[in-house]
A and B are shown apart, each in its own frame.
Chain A
């Protein structure tokens, strides 16, 4: 028997029966629940986010340290504030040309789904051209290019798919083992049917043109350029556990207590984010604090020393990072178990409903 409060709809006097049935149900559900493998899957999600964020970081680094063909990194996740499908980064040559980039840390075997998604985002970006001009740049865009960046072992797959579907995206690949970035040009297995010419040489030339940058100096400057990790670590649309790293990075230690003020988090976010408005930064910080409390990673501290305490016995950042990941995994697992509890409740209530109908005979 499980000590659970039956819902109000359970007829009076039936509470014990309810508890018995519910107990059986939930016991069975929990026994069947593959907790260990779910936990591993969740840890995998954290890794996927990390690889994705680092891929963005590697992709934009040359445009933070230098300015290949005049382009600079402007912002991460342009258009995220509108809640529309958006790209991961925006580059601009401070004149009339922009590049929207999407980072894909892995490409599924059905690369077509990725290309479709890219096409959709491209349309959204084109639809918001004026918005970008007015809100982000303050000047007109007369040239747009679209990039998909991936790790080296997925480069061929996506580049081929793009070229064969006739989509116009330029593929960048990052090799994290040698910290280099370059433009991947794949030869298609078949020509797309939207090419102008019938002459194979001209067709190949057309494809090369289509899948490299219009500004030739950009192609040469990005040819095996050394890159590095270290920029763009505030991504408002990534999963919460990845975003909460910011809290770990902003923490300070007061008398062996890891703690943080709103101001610390705000400072970190505004230092790390480029071209986000103060209001947006404030919203991002609010979300972080709320989520932190939700996961029981942050709690209000009734002490003058800081506004929030980090709920952990550790003080070192690496330990706190691990604690955060564990808390998030626990929270997600608990969420899954809640769903099982709800399912049991619904089923038992339905049983009671049937019984009462039988009683009427």
Chain B
């Protein structure tokens, strides 16, 4: 993007973009703006400084990385980040998917202080309802839906795990129809009306095909809906930790463990087969890199435990699941992005209605 020199906060920055999209996007193929939301903690600015050329524009930081384009030439990719809220950063860019894949993605994948903001399936439904009720004439041109038993009943073969992608001008009606018939709920939607075209998905990516004030308004309106739940999730992930406390009750210094564990409560009973396909799914995924070792698994009422490594970040934690919930016991270097991504993997691949919270030993007994 071509942004005039100046000092901006996030709102002012967005205004610069939609006030003069032609000059801002001059020379870009896509002529669209992509916005990515990231959960963050204190170290994130230093982390950017270590990995990119950075430049401060008031409340906005420009950061530039390198990527190799399709012709094999090295090219600069420009990104801008501003604080949407404490611990929640918004990245804006006009770069291609390839530039984003090479120059932006690896950053959060290996960082202990940044993780993509997941949008819980349920919040996604809420966002969709807001858009549809605010804009009667909003069309859905394209969507992707997946089976989430906790959010929708299916008339046809309810026990089949399925994903449906649909393209067509009548998407809005089909979305509801598929939901009732096949028990699927959307995880990616493209909205269109006369001067708005915007795409949203559960990984916290928003694509503004139309660069104007109305599109930005929708973006900020949707964010305000999900932000509370997302920040709560961050709060939970930050509290999951393992420490050794040194005490000296007698005349020796000894260590005692202090574990604060997390818990993912399932929305419906999880079977061994589902747990196994979840493990396979995380292994085959492009952007997740979890490995499961030391696995114990027994069917019946589920008995499942394993040691999990986030290979991207080197975090280690243990999980122990029953059919109702999964405990997460931190071990080494257990940073919040690993836990947030693990939870995102659970809602995307195991149980769309699962909730992560801090385990409370007081109420358990």
| Complex-state Cα separation, A317 to B308, whole angstroms | 10
Binds A, one of B51-59, B77-85, B138-146, B324-332: B324-332
**Taking A228-B261, A230-B329, A274-B255 as contacts, is the C-beta distance between A317 and B309 under 8 angstroms?**
yes
Residues facing B in A222-255 (CB within 8 A) are: 223-226, 228-231, 233, 245, 248-249
Taking a contact as CB atoms closer than 8 A, the residue among A54, A62, A225, A233 that contacts B296 in the complex is A54
Residues facing B in A22-41 (CB within 8 A) are: none
- Chain A contacts of B316 at CB under 8 A? 249
A271 touches B (CB below 8 Å): yes
**Taking A54-B296, A221-B365, A317-B291 as contacts, is the C-beta distance between A229 and B259 under 8 angstroms?**
no
Q: Which of the listed residues A65, A138, A139, A275 has the most CB atoms from chain B within 10 Å of its own CB?
A: A65
Taking a contact as CB atoms closer than 8 A, the residue among B254, B255, B309 that contacts A137 in the complex is B254
**Taking A229-B318, A229-B329, A272-B331 as contacts, is the C-beta distance between A316 and B365 under 8 angstroms?**
no
A-B contact pairs, 21 of them (CB 8 A): A61-B259, A64-B257, A66-B361, A74-B256, A94-B249, A95-B249, A138-B250, A177-B303, A178-B322, A225-B361, A226-B359, A226-B364, A229-B296, A229-B329, A230-B261, A230-B329, A249-B293, A249-B307, A275-B255, A317-B293, A321-B294
- Chain B contacts of A74 at CB under 8 A? 254, 256
B300 touches A (CB below 8 Å): yes
- Chain A contacts of B298 at CB under 8 A? 176-177
Distance in angstroms from A185 CB to nearest chain B CB is 18
| Complex-state Cα separation, A233 to B317, whole angstroms | 12
Task: Tell me the total A-B contact number using a CB cutoff of 8 A.
Answer: 129
Residues facing A in B241-260 (CB within 8 A) are: 244, 247-260
**Taking A64-B257, A228-B261 as contacts, is the C-beta distance between A177 and B252 under 8 angstroms?**
no
| Complex-state Cα separation, A94 to B245, whole angstroms | 13
Do B257 and A73 touch across chains, with their CB atoms under 8 A apart? yes
A residues sitting closer than 8 Å to B (CB atoms) are: 50-51, 54, 61-62, 64-66, 72-74, 94-95, 136-140, 176-179, 221, 223-226, 228-231, 233, 245, 248-249, 268, 271-272, 274-275, 316-318, 321
Interface mask (B296-337 → A, CB under 8 Å = 1, otherwise 0): 101011110101010100001111101000010111100000
Taking a contact as CB atoms closer than 8 A, the residue among A94, A137, A140, A224 that contacts B365 in the complex is A224
- Chain A contacts of B305 at CB under 8 A? 54, 176, 229
Do A225 and B365 touch across chains, with their CB atoms under 8 A apart? yes
**Taking A95-B249, A139-B251 as contacts, is the C-beta distance between A230 and B318 under 8 angstroms?**
yes
Nearest 3 A-B pairs (CB), nearest first? A139-B250, A138-B252, A230-B329
| Complex-state Cα separation, A233 to B316, whole angstroms | 13
Q: Which of the listed residues A177, A248, A275 has the most CB atoms from chain B within 10 Å of its own CB?
A: A177
- Chain A contacts of B283 at CB under 8 A? 316, 318
Do A245 and B365 touch across chains, with their CB atoms under 8 A apart? no
- Chain A contacts of B8 at CB under 8 A? none
Please classify the interface of chain B as helix (H, G, I), strand (E, B), loop, or mixed, using the class held by over half of its residues.
strand
Taking a contact as CB atoms closer than 8 A, the residue among B261, B294, B301, B330 that contacts A50 in the complex is B294
Residues facing A in B199-254 (CB within 8 A) are: 244, 247-254
Taking a contact as CB atoms closer than 8 A, the residue among B244, B294, B331 that contacts A245 in the complex is B294
| Complex-state Cα separation, A61 to B244, whole angstroms | 14
Do B365 and A223 touch across chains, with their CB atoms under 8 A apart? yes
**Taking A230-B329, A272-B331 as contacts, is the C-beta distance between A318 and B301 under 8 angstroms?**
no
Distance in angstroms from B291 CB to nearest chain A CB is 4
Q: Which of the listed residues B249, B258, B260 has the most CB atoms from chain A within 10 Å of its own CB?
A: B249
| Complex-state Cα separation, A316 to B299, whole angstroms | 26
**Taking A54-B296, A66-B361 as contacts, is the C-beta distance between A231 and B251 under 8 angstroms?**
no
Distance in angstroms from B127 CB to nearest chain A CB is 34
Do B302 and A177 touch across chains, with their CB atoms under 8 A apart? yes
Closest to B305 in A: A229
B36 touches A (CB below 8 Å): no
Do B256 and A73 touch across chains, with their CB atoms under 8 A apart? yes
Closest to A64 in B: B257
B166 touches A (CB below 8 Å): no
Closest to B301 in A: A177
- Chain B contacts of A274 at CB under 8 A? 244, 255-257
- Chain A contacts of B361 at CB under 8 A? 62, 65-66, 225-226
- Chain A contacts of B247 at CB under 8 A? 94
B47 touches A (CB below 8 Å): no
Closest to A322 in B: B293
| Complex-state Cα separation, A347 to B319, whole angstroms | 54
- Chain A contacts of B250 at CB under 8 A? 137-140
Distance in angstroms from A135 CB to nearest chain B CB is 8
- Chain B contacts of A139 at CB under 8 A? 249-252
- Chain A contacts of B67 at CB under 8 A? none
